[in-house]
Amino acid sequence: MQSTRRSFLQISSLGLISVPKINYSNIFSSKNKKSISEAPFIQNEERITRIEKAQKLLNQNKMIALVLDAGTNMEYFSGIHWNPSERSMLAIIPATGEITYICPSFEEDRFLEVKKIGSKVHTWEEHENPFNLLIQVLKKAGFKQGNIAIEEQTRFFISDGIKKAGKGFKLVSGDPITIPCRLIKSKNEIALMQKANDITAIAIQYGLTFLSEGINPATISQKIAAKHAELGGQHRFASVTFGVASSFPHGSSQKQILKKGDIVMLDCGCSVGGYESDITRTIVFGPASEKQIKIWELEKRAQAAGFAAAKLGDPCENVDFAARKVIIDAGYGPGYKLPGLPHRTGHGIGMNGHEWGNMVKGNQLKLQVGMCFSIEPTIAIPNEFGVRLEDCVYMTENGPKWFSNPSPSIDQPFI
């Protein structure tokens, strides 16, 4: 590529920023949301289907129940968002029967306000043991012994309390239940993620218009957060790094002030209806150097190779292998060695920003319709800069499809 390529941001003699190639006049208007897809929130019918799938898996794995701590898995199956505290509020999905809840007595009224499915709520007073109550509930349901599945985010004091209370019961990992359920997204889940990605794409473009010499990353982050909220997303993160700090994949604690020629990396996400987006863009503030252009284009080729390798029935690790090979063949690495790609090529995404289905060496999980994950083969050059292009995909019957279109060029972060 010619070194005279026009940079993404040019500073005029008046100190104003002009943004070539992209017309922002309409896309930033809160009244014009044509570029943002619509998506229905998850309804009880879908939650009931999720529970039925969990129960089928419980029986297949010879487990009598799945216990859910307050958190993402509880919200996934029940629709209840509850902040975890030292007072245990738990959900039980039995192998047969309806979902049941264990709730602090004084919180019952508040709990009933947010309960969406299930009619059985068992309460415990402050001096009582909620784990003894849970075991009693299982026994009354006809489960005198057996394997109790504990989901992976359950806090230790809860699993330990159930273990002590449940003589004759065995605690086992709930992964065989929660992972197959949450790994494969429905059309409604994908639609919510698409909307979240649409919002984040606009928010990043909006944030870019505030770049100016002497500005700090926090200012840009705040602008992106405000645009997320304005467009209906719940802001999750906006990691903005300048210059050398961009060589740290997750940012640096060092003070950063923007100057001409700096790489600018923006890694941002929001959630809509509980489902997240994750997009990273890398541009140059002012004229790009030949090395910056070279590394940026290498990164783009690596991302494209990862996408091409995402084939139904092939293992997740193939995406990492393909992207990493492009970088290694260009003389970087090998493996995680720097300069090069220091981490996995991608991660699963859904209700959490990072979920199962990582694109990493050793993951033999076969790619299936409904899986969602990022493709982001960062190239880090220590003490100089880093480049990351991150877009997420979902697997269809025809292969992967982008939630956000990849950057066309270093001076055009979005189509």
Return the CATH class of domain 44-183: alpha beta
pTM of this prediction?
0.91
CA 191 to chain CA centroid, nearest Å: 15
Q: Is 88 left (phi over 0), alpha (psi -120 to 50) or beta?
A: beta
Number of helices followed by number of strands (H, E) in the chain: 10, 19
Query: 308-323: per-residue pLDDT in tens?
Result: 999 999 999 999 999 9
CA 86 to chain CA centroid, nearest Å: 27
Query: 254-263: per-residue pLDDT in tens?
Result: 889 999 999 9
Query: 198-215: per-residue pLDDT in tens?
Result: 999 999 999 999 999 999
Q: Three-state DSSP class for 230?
A: helix
How far, in Å, CA of 262 to CA of 283, rounded? 9
Domain with CATH 3.90.230.10 in the chain: 184-402
How far, in Å, CA of 128 to CA of 403, rounded? 48
* 253's tokens: 């604690």
Q: Three-state DSSP class for 115?
A: coil
pLDDT at res. 7: 39
pLDDT at res. 35: 72
pLDDT at res. 33: 57
Q: Which residues pair with 235 in a beta bridge?
A: 270
User: Considering the chain, what is the average pLDDT of its residues?
Assistant: 92
Confidence tier at 34 by pLDDT (50, 70, 90): low
Query: 107-131: per-residue pLDDT in tens?
Result: 999 999 999 999 999 999 999 999 9
CA end-to-end distance (rounded Å), the chain: 20
CATH classification of 184-402, choosing from 3.90.480.20, 3.40.50.720, 3.30.420.40, 3.90.230.10? 3.90.230.10
Confidence tier at 348 by pLDDT (50, 70, 90): very high
* 182's tokens: 């949450």
Alpha carbon separation from 281 to 74, 226, 266, 372 (Å, rounded): 33, 18, 5, 19
Alpha carbon separation from 312 to 188, 319, 397 (Å, rounded): 21, 11, 8
How far, in Å, CA of 89 to CA of 78, rounded? 13
Give the residue-averaged pLDDT of 169-181: 98
Give the residue-averaged pLDDT of 2-11: 36
Query: 232-243: per-residue pLDDT in tens?
Result: 999 999 999 999
How far, in Å, CA of 179 to CA of 324, rounded? 27
Rounded to 5 degrees, what are φ and ψ at 278?
Answer: -160, 110
Residue 290, pLDDT > 80, answer yes
Residue that has been written with the tokens 């770049």 in this structure: 211
How far, in Å, CA of 305 to CA of 372, rounded? 17
At how many degrees (to 10) do helices 187-208 and 217-230 cross?
140
pLDDT at res. 6: 36
- Walk across the sheet containing 372-375 and list its strands: 355-359, 346-348, 372-375, 391-396, 399-402
Residues 6+ apart with CB under 8 A from 370: 183, 184, 185, 186, 190, 394, 395
Length of the chain: 415
CB 281 within 8 A of CB 413: yes
Element (H, E) at 379: strand 379-381
How far, in Å, CA of 99 to CA of 78, rounded? 8
